[in-house]
Amino acid sequence: MHLSMRLAARFPSLALTEAFDFSRHTTIGCGGRAEVAAMPSSPMQAAALLSFLKREKIAHCILGTGANVLPADGLFRGVVVRTCLMRTLRAEGSTLVADAGVTGGALLSFAARCSVGGFEPLSGIPMSVGGAVAMNAGVRDLYIGARVRSVLAFDGERLVLLDGAACGFSQKDSLFRREKIAVLRVWLEGRYSDAASIRIRACEYRRRRRCLPKGRSMGCAFVNPQGCSAGALIEGCGLKGARVGGAFVSREHANFIINDGGSAQDVAALAAFVRERVSAETGICLREEFCRLP
């Protein structure tokens, strides 16, 4: 039976898209198609779906807003589990409780409405809460892991409630990314502040981001090695403007790979070339920040 029919038979209320086009749902704008995308509307439905996919040995991957992924070219014979319909968001005092698909924009404006501050440095980062927690996203002033009180996750077998310390956050990394554990709901600890100053701070963080390169990218391509900047290393190797097919290293910020109509293969080949050159010239091995899908 066709995969989408199997899913529809097992989960009649589950939203499904056939021939899901990665290039239309990722900021890098390339990659092929997946046989089907499934969009659970709650953590419970997501857990039931993930459990079914595991039990039936159906290949699958999780996609948030697609701001930090490089999807492969060609056809993925499996299911993309999208979190975009898991959008429940509420406040419990100064703690925000957000389902995995809540976007950064929704989180920040809700926080301001509830006079809950402490998240402003995340303003303007393209993200879902689940993707941000998996990636420990943030900027120098705040990485989201520092605000995580607990996470409801599905570890492939069962639902688990992990406290912040158990999430294994490190630089642009977490237990969820390393072990491919699905983040379903997150409790984020804020602090009371007045709405006007929250908005002013958020606006200032958004303003600082205006200098980021335009064009389709995954944000920074490589994690900063201890004590130095990946962008400075890449620039130092003379790689600004280096190109493979439609992918090139931004001239504005050397740690951004921009896709101008290229394929995932172009982006991957350019990333590999940059890593090799930096390693050969500096002895430093850059780690990719973006995630390859599936």
Q: Which residues are near ligand FAD by CB under 6 A?
A: 27, 61-69, 83, 100, 125-128, 130-132, 134-135, 137-139, 176, 182-183, 212, 217-219, 291
User: In this complex, which beta carbon is closest to ligand FAD, that of residue 195 or of residue 212?
Assistant: 212
CB of 154 to ligand FAD, least distance (A): 9
User: In this complex, which beta carbon is closest to ligand FAD, that of residue 61 or of residue 112?
Assistant: 61
Interacting residues of 123 by C-beta distance below 8 A, sequence separation 6+: 104, 108, 202, 203, 205, 206
Can you tell me the distance from the alpha carbon of 221 to that of 142, in angstroms, rounded to the nearest whole number?
A: 19
Instruction: State which H helix or E strand residue 150 sits in.
Output: strand 148-154
CB of 120 to ligand FAD, least distance (A): 13
User: In this complex, which beta carbon is closest to ligand FAD, that of residue 11 or of residue 277?
Assistant: 11
User: In this complex, which beta carbon is closest to ligand FAD, that of residue 216 or of residue 275?
Assistant: 216
CB of 138 to ligand FAD, least distance (A): 5
Examine residue 294 and say whether the peptide bond preceding it is cis (omega within 30 degrees of 0).
Answer: yes
Query: Distance between terminal CA atoms of the chain?
Result: 22
Can you tell me the distance from the alpha carbon of 90 to that of 225, in angstroms, rounded to the nearest whole number?
A: 37
Q: Within a 13 Å sphere around the CA of 272, how many CA atoms are in the beta-carbon half?
A: 7
Q: 184: how many CB neighbours lie within 10 A of its CB?
A: 25
Assign 225 to helix, strand or coil. Answer: coil
DSSP label at residue 35: E
**Structure tokens, 170:** 């490190």
Residue type, 107: L
User: In this complex, which beta carbon is closest to ligand FAD, that of residue 117 or of residue 131?
Assistant: 131
CB of 233 to ligand FAD, least distance (A): 18
CB of 231 to ligand FAD, least distance (A): 13
Asked if 7 and 16 touch (Cβ cutoff 8 Å), the reply is yes
Asked if 183 and 134 touch (Cβ cutoff 8 Å), the reply is yes
User: In this complex, which beta carbon is closest to ligand FAD, that of residue 3 or of residue 125?
Assistant: 125
CB of 283 to ligand FAD, least distance (A): 26
